Amino acid sequence: MSMLMNIKEVDIDTPQKRQSFTIGVIGSGFTLSRHISVFAEAGFRVVAVDLRHHLVNLVKENTVSSNSALDTLVKKHLKGKQVTVVSNIREATSKSDAIILLVQPVINEKKKSDYSKIERACKEVGMGLRSGCLVVVASTGSPGFTEGLIKETLENASGLKAGVNFGLAYCPLYVGSEIFVEKSAVNSMVVGAIDEQSLKTACLILGTLTKEILIVKDIKSAEAVRLFRDIYQNLNVALANEIARYCEKAGIDFIEIQRTASKQLHSYLSTPEIVPEDKMKALYLLLEEAEAVNAKLPLLALARKTNEEALCHTLRLVRDALRACDKPLRRAKISILGVSCQPNVKETRGTITKKLVRMMNRKGMLIRIYDPLFSFKELTEMGYPTERTLKRTVEGADCLLVTVGHDHFKRLNLRKIKFLAKKGVAIVDMAHIINPAEAEKEGLVYRGIGRGVWTK
């Protein structure tokens, strides 16, 4: 039995006292590493379950990946025994006083939600759950899924009752890009819980990570905050993507407009981008839930359609760039730079590159992939046609397609690229890191989402 649900603030007001309590974190990838780091930095002991084995490999190989700062921090705590990594959820739960569930639902090929991974994880959590523990759900889901699917699965697997034998709360943890010892690594937290005791305990534990806790009246409200926040971002990106297409036709550089607008008070424009399905999850979940309760949300449906079109628009830009070079689409050699889901992060969950490659292969294009954060072996194991170096990737290319704005790509030598690639090489910049004028000055044909100032 855990004593966590009976703690008072004085019991965890120093990092030394927090070492008496263990936090179990269940998830994968960069998000898991961030959460491990903030809890360990706060002084808690951490038992982590890495569903994709990155941390297991980190320990075995004794290496630091391209997420060097974060991996170094995790390795420090692994070496100091502050953090342990196990492969069994039940084992981790049985050793933990609080469990942070980061497992996410999947959007399948029919654009429908699939909660089966979460359900399986909850069954394992339930089988190891001790009385007096706290479960904090940090997964994205439609309002009601915590008190429905998750609560029911935990209770059935454990034989315990939420709000009586164990605590249950919902809190999406927005962990910042940098990890600090002071309470600045995590943004303000929204917390909702099944009962007063669960709320109190969750606020005490999570209050060690942040300076601000925002309490809502129930779990469903906390879920809605997370969902609506993500949807708001999706809508802004959809608007940016639509305006960007206009800018391409009207000879306007959207990125210049964005930079200028951002300097004005209360003025902000989102960046047009290829939105990964993982980042559109909130849209899919709410549209599905709205359909179930017979609510019409036409604006969200249009935003989803607009953002889904970004991949097809990428192909249109590639085709237009090749046409300007007097080259056909079929059999064109395309070098794609970037497979990560975001700049400077070694994480592929939600990446658009896999889908983009499939679409290009169907059009008869010949693809090569390069990402400096991944080794040749890693890219090959993921099924990508790849080269060992950027130089080899660029050699003989008809078109370079930049999909991720890694700092490494911001230092591209355009003159050298023209020399290495074929005559009349094109560059399609979907990451907004290449200056159109500089590209054309070096003799490249340039295309970029929203950057309608190209002249060739």
Q: Do 259 and 188 share a structural domain?
A: no
Confidence (pLDDT) at 172: 85
Confidence (pLDDT) at 55: 66
Confidence (pLDDT) at 61: 54
Q: Report how far residue 375's alpha carbon sits from residue 370's, in angstroms, rounded to the nearest whole number.
A: 9
Q: Do 317 and 213 share a structural domain?
A: no
Q: Does residue 299 lie within any of the structural domains?
A: no
Range of the domain at 408: 254-265+309-448
Q: Tally Cβ neighbours within 10 Å of residue 84.
A: 16
**Boundary of a domain, candidates 217, 244, 278:** 217
Q: Does residue 206 lie within any of the structural domains?
A: yes
Q: Do 333 and 206 share a structural domain?
A: no
Q: Do 330 and 187 share a structural domain?
A: no
- Asked whether residue 195 carries a pLDDT value surpassing 70, the answer given is yes
pLDDT-based confidence at residue 184 (cuts at 50, 70, 90): very low
For the stretch 80-115, pLDDT in tens is 788 888 889 999 999 999 999 999 998 888 888 999
Q: Report how far residue 213's alpha carbon sits from residue 228's, in angstroms, rounded to the nearest whole number.
A: 18
- Crossing angle of helices 353-362/298-324, nearest 10°? 60
Confidence (pLDDT) at 64: 42
Q: Does residue 241 lie within any of the structural domains?
A: no
Q: Can you give the CATH number for the domain in which 165 is found?
A: 3.40.50.720
For the whole model, what pTM was predicted? 0.86
What order of strands is seen across the sheet that includes strand 98-101?
A: 83-86, 45-50, 22-27, 98-101, 134-137, 167-170, 189-193, 213-215
Q: Do 261 and 195 share a structural domain?
A: no
Q: Report how far residue 398's alpha carbon sits from residue 361's, in angstroms, rounded to the nearest whole number.
A: 15
Q: Report how far residue 118's alpha carbon sits from residue 122's, in angstroms, rounded to the nearest whole number.
A: 6
Give the range among 73-77, 144-148, 241-245, 414-418 with minimum mean pLDDT.
Answer: 73-77
Confidence (pLDDT) at 344: 87
Confidence (pLDDT) at 268: 87
pLDDT-based confidence at residue 182 (cuts at 50, 70, 90): very low
| Diameter over CA atoms, the chain | 73
Give the range among 59-73, 252-266, 406-420 with minimum mean pLDDT.
Answer: 59-73
Joined tokens for residue 77: 């705590």
Confidence (pLDDT) at 251: 96
Q: Report how far residue 301's alpha carbon sits from residue 184's, in angstroms, rounded to the nearest whole number.
A: 36
pLDDT-based confidence at residue 59 (cuts at 50, 70, 90): low
From residue 253, alpha-carbon distances to 257, 258, 317, 338, 405 in Å are 7, 9, 15, 23, 18
Q: Report how far residue 455's alpha carbon sits from residue 69's, in angstroms, rounded to the nearest whole number.
A: 41
- Asked whether residue 400 carries a pLDDT value surpassing 90, the answer given is yes
- Crossing angle of helices 54-61/29-42, nearest 10°? 70
Pairing of strands 333-337, 213-215: unpaired
Q: Do 315 and 189 share a structural domain?
A: no
Q: Report how far residue 68's alpha carbon sits from residue 425's, in angstroms, rounded to the nearest whole number.
A: 34
For the stretch 60-79, pLDDT in tens is 554 444 455 666 777 777 77
CA angle 408, 410, 415 (to 5 degrees): 105
* Closest by CA position to 199, among listed 3, 5, 1: 5
Question: 170, exposed or middle or buried, with CB in 10 Å at 0-12, 13-18, 19+?
Answer: buried
Which amino acid, residue 454?
Answer: W
Structural domain tally of the chain? Answer: 2
- Asked whether residue 438 carries a pLDDT value surpassing 60, the answer given is yes
From residue 197, alpha-carbon distances to 7, 133, 201, 227 in Å are 10, 11, 6, 25
Confidence (pLDDT) at 310: 92
Q: Does residue 291 lie within any of the structural domains?
A: no
For the stretch 322-372, pLDDT in tens is 999 999 999 999 999 999 888 888 888 778 899 999 999 999 999 999 999
